[in-house]
Amino acid sequence: MTGKPKIVLVVGARPNFMKAAPLMDRLQQEPDRFDTILIHTGQHYDHNLSQLFFDQLGMPEPDSYLGVGSGTHAHQTARIMVELEKELMRLKPDLVIVFGDVNSTLAASVVCAKLCLKLAHVEAGLRSFDNTMPEEINRIVTDRLSDYLFATEDAGLVNLRNEGVPDRKVFFTGNIMIDSLVNHLKAARESRILEKLSLEPRNYVAMTMHRPANVDDSETLSRLIKCVADISERIPVVFPCHPRTAKRIKEFGILDGNSHPGLTIEQPLGYLDFLKLQAESKIVLTDSGGIQEETTYLGIPCITMRTTTELVATVEVGTNTLCGSDPQKISAAVDRILEGGGTEGRIPDLWDGNTSSRIVEILRQKLL
């Protein structure tokens, strides 16, 4: 390698941005050592799912925006691969870093493997063991193709070892999303979102839902929305709604003409508003991955509308309860928390705000 190593970070969808922001920031603090380039695939393109996060996380504008947009999995992944291949052939980086488990992560990993570029995966080793989740396929392929695997929790280390990944490739660096949370919690506390939505601290449920398994089938989605409407008669529910879910609610005619005064459906919120909404809530109800982790750090009881989780620590030591899409289980979990349960939990090891520094230290050793 001659001169400074050129490092490309590839992001594409909402949950990538809070994982990439702290690492981008750390690398850019060392401009004499690293040449850092940011590529946004454009998988998420709505203002509230993308630009708002760049603004609030203080991320620089991407050096390159591929504008791939939505489509079927094959279509979206293939478009990212075609556009990214051109960029990476032009840039010839020394290392490409990918994050999490979205289609942009998978596409970038395959392109790097074919171009014989070194690849690092931040958030390696997580497994739900549910191959019907598109993210599980993305994780398995990305880890298989990566040269440096940065793991967030013990379960990830065990999974990688069981899959035969050599120990020399694996580094336990902790949870980088928590770096963003720690960096922005003070600013989030200043958010006026509770006043805006007329919510009282510790007296509402903050909800998100967008997984295909929950929202793409009309019977499942109707059942879940009815369950949430019932809960909203006991405690207010605020639901910033992902565009995929909003589209399905409309398409299936769910909620048509039915009024539920306790249930507020909102546009997706920005990072700071949603952090505040979580931090002040009584309960979080979700099918997201990252929110299971953020609530564990914040000590807020989280009810997860999935039967499996790749984030084992959130259940083992954190505040997370898995209820699937079963209304009885969800309702019982809500009641248990309203009666005072669900707050027992501790913060997993290395979820401390210093993960990006640990990763940069390893990159220094490997690349300089």
Distance of closest approach, residue 358 Cβ to ligand UD1, in angstroms: 24
Distance of closest approach, residue 79 Cβ to ligand UD1, in angstroms: 12
Distance of closest approach, residue 26 Cβ to ligand UD1, in angstroms: 24
Q: Of the two residues 46 and 361, which places its CB atom closer to ligand UD1 in the complex?
A: 46
Our answer to whether residue 47 is catalytic in this structure is no
Which residue's structure tokens are 């509770």? 194
Q: Of the two residues 85 and 216, which places its CB atom closer to ligand UD1 in the complex?
A: 216
Q: List the beta strands (DSSP E) in the chain.
A: 6-11, 35-40, 64-65, 95-99, 119-124, 148-151, 170-172, 205-207, 237-240, 263-266, 283-286, 302-304, 320-322
Tokens at 82, concatenated: 């075609």
| 129-144 residues labelled b (16+ CB within 10 A) or e (exposed) | eeeebbbbebbbbbbe
Distance of closest approach, residue 291 Cβ to ligand UD1, in angstroms: 10
* Contacting positions for ligand UD1 (CB under 6 A): 13-15, 43-46, 49, 70, 76, 101-103, 134-135, 210, 242-244, 247, 288
In sequence order, which residues have a C-beta less than 8 Å from that of residue 160 and are 6 or more positions away?
124, 125, 143, 149, 151, 170
- 253: DSSP letter: T
Q: Distance between CA 368 and CA 366 in Å, rounded?
A: 6
The answer to whether 255 and 241 have CB atoms below 8 angstroms apart is: no
Phi-psi region of 67 (alpha: psi -120 to 50; beta: other; left: phi over 0): left
Q: Of the two residues 79 and 242, which places its CB atom closer to ligand UD1 in the complex?
A: 242
Q: Of the two residues 80 and 337, which places its CB atom closer to ligand UD1 in the complex?
A: 80
Q: Of the two residues 220 and 331, which places its CB atom closer to ligand UD1 in the complex?
A: 220
Q: Of the two residues 44 and 306, which places its CB atom closer to ligand UD1 in the complex?
A: 44
Q: Distance between CA 277 and CA 200 in Å, rounded?
A: 10
- Determine the 3-state secondary structure of 240 from DSSP: strand
Distance of closest approach, residue 354 Cβ to ligand UD1, in angstroms: 25
Q: State the catalytic residue, choosing from 40, 44, 210, 242.
A: 210
Question: With DSSP H G I counted as helix, E B as strand and the rest as coil, what are the percentages for the chain, rounded to 5?
Answer: 45, 15, 40
Distance of closest approach, residue 52 Cβ to ligand UD1, in angstroms: 11
Q: List the beta strands (DSSP E) in 100-236.
A: 119-124, 148-151, 170-172, 205-207
- Determine the 3-state secondary structure of 73 from DSSP: helix
Residues acting as catalytic residues: 210
